[in-house]
Structure 1
Amino acid sequence: MSSIPLTLAEAVPLGTVLLQRLLDDAGIRSLVIKGPAFVELGVRKPKHSNDIDLLIHPDDRERVAGLLEASRWQSISHWFPPALDDVIYSVTYAHPSFPASVDVHHYYSGVFARADAFESMWAQRVSVDLAHAQVVTMPSAHALIFEALNKFKAAGVGQWDATARAVVDAAQWRDLEQVRRAAEELGATESAGALIAALGGPRATHTSPKFRRWAKEAGRFRSRIYFWRIVTRSPQSVPRVMWQQINLPEKHARWWAEAHGIRYRSRRQVLWLRLRGLATRRDAQTR
């Protein structure tokens, strides 16, 4: 009797439950982010999710990697030198028998408190129902900020106000004072400034170097940012990174195409698109 394969719509919530329990059984704390959990929190409209997203404490990265690899989850992220640890904020894993991949975030783009931010969210964690089971996630105020930051990093600064209004309009939950407190806890008062303004709050004064650098890179092709960081911070790593890109495994190439909404044809197609991206200032989302 043959088994019926899971659809992505089934695999994402089910895999979320299974992976969080796997980590929890090993004593590793995790928060479910984005996807159906944020729908349950009322900070985004229901939509199709292609992958699973978990947030862990930065200090647990190696433990999580070892645990997942022991459970046949293989990293499909590219190797980057340690000099890029401040910009490489997640690792993607795939399982040969499971249709959904998982992004394990050790911090979140635009959240500058990092370890302290995780502790704050963990202390205020809530549970939502996924796949007829309870999973642990962050409070709605933090989730709304994460939802906005995720969209800000893909858009140029000039689009942030409109993007923030769209995030607020799509949310069923919105509370200015709770979002302002959450932004302070996350070290995201500046990066979430457009969201706070869209909720009717005061516009933040942007002064910190971290924020200015983050805002400058918003909307740019991420691979291009990574490449130039390697050139400036770890030039001896360039040959290894370039060789890896040229010899991109087919499963990685296919995953990259699917993640960018591109119909996959070949490894050569993906390599060309990635190289072309390095030569452009901004990706198609900001043109």
Structure 2
Amino acid sequence: MADSLGVRAFFIKGPASVIQGLRMPRTSSDVDVFVHPSDLEAIVAGLRERGWRERPVDPDGRTFPKHSVTVDHPKWPCCIDVHFRFPGMETAPSDCFDVMWARTENLELAGQELRVPTESLGIVILALHALRSAHLPACRQELEFLRDLTEREQHVAAVMDLAVATGSLAAMRPFLEGLLPGRETVEWPDASGEWRNRLMAKQPGSARLIAIAQAPLREKPGMIFHAVFPAPVVHLSRDIYADMTLPGRVRSHRTRWVRFLRSAPQVMRDLSQLRKG
């Protein structure tokens, strides 16, 4: 479809990463594709014409900044996640795409000739993805695997250059510091507010409270109201089959509050980091 539309698209993570040796074998639950921001609507429209539908999303863009559009199909057992930017990459999304596109290569998969990241770009993408949740054992394991690979295959310089070109040097710092020669000095930029918030918010409830705390005073009442009384689409963003009748919505509200209360200790720890910052 991308070829027929003349859209540049390359596929990230997933089975291609396993074939390239960038990841341990695993089962993928979705397909991740990257397109230029100006081509996002064309791709989504093309998928829509073929029976794919956009999944509901939380409309609160301050709390959950958007970086992709997810679509599903009633006859396919997986989603497609169409990326137009990548968290941690602070260069303008259009420029960032051009940098990445220049570092893609062909790979045959499922009977198709696909564009996928080169090894060095694949390492950057996978490392950024794992760094967002580095508190999880699986992500720590993946980061260690990528560090060993980067050093063994001598990708450190290429990964460093990509981190600079994509504006991800600040986000990649925990991954890169141990790989650089001891004599090399780097001027590490400060991480963006969005990236710091992503790292602090280990629970969805934390993300909302952090966003409310950082919002201008005039916006806080509305954000608090929508956090306490979310729109129906918020329930659907978690479960597209959620019961939207009045009793069903009441049950969803109850489940949401139970989930929040159970995560309260972690939420408090996340908020304590905000106070320190």
Q: Indicate the TM-score class for this superposition, using the shorter chain for normalisation.
A: 0.7 to 0.9
Deviation per residue, 1:164-222 (Å, 9 max, x gap): 43422367755111111111221112211222234344575443351x65135315236
Alignment of 1:1-287 (within 5 A): 22-80=1-59, 87-113=65-91, 114-156=93-135, 164-169=143-148, 173-201=153-181, 202=184, 204-208=186-190, 210=192, 213-218=194-199, 220-221=201-202, 223-224=204-205, 227-228=208-209, 231=212, 232=215, 236=222, 239=226, 242-244=230-232, 247-248=235-236, 251-252=239-240, 271-272=256-257, 275-276=260-261, 279=264, 280-281=266-267
Per-residue deviation at 1:230? 6.5
Identity of aligned residues (%): 21
Q: TM-score, normalised by structure 2?
A: 0.73
Per-residue deviation at 1:272? 4.7
- Structure 1 unmatched ranges of 5 or more: 1-21, 255-265
Q: Please name the residue that 1:10 is paired with.
A: none
User: For the residues of structure 2 that align with 1:270 and 1:115, how far apart are their CA atoms?
Assistant: 40
**Higher Rg:** 2
Partner SS for 1:135 = strand
Q: TM-score, normalised by structure 1?
A: 0.71
- The more displaced of 245-254 and 55-64 is 245-254
Match for 2:157: what amino acid? E
Aligned residues: 248
RMSD between aligned alpha carbons? Answer: 3.6
Per-residue deviation at 1:251? 4.6
Match for 1:91: what amino acid? V
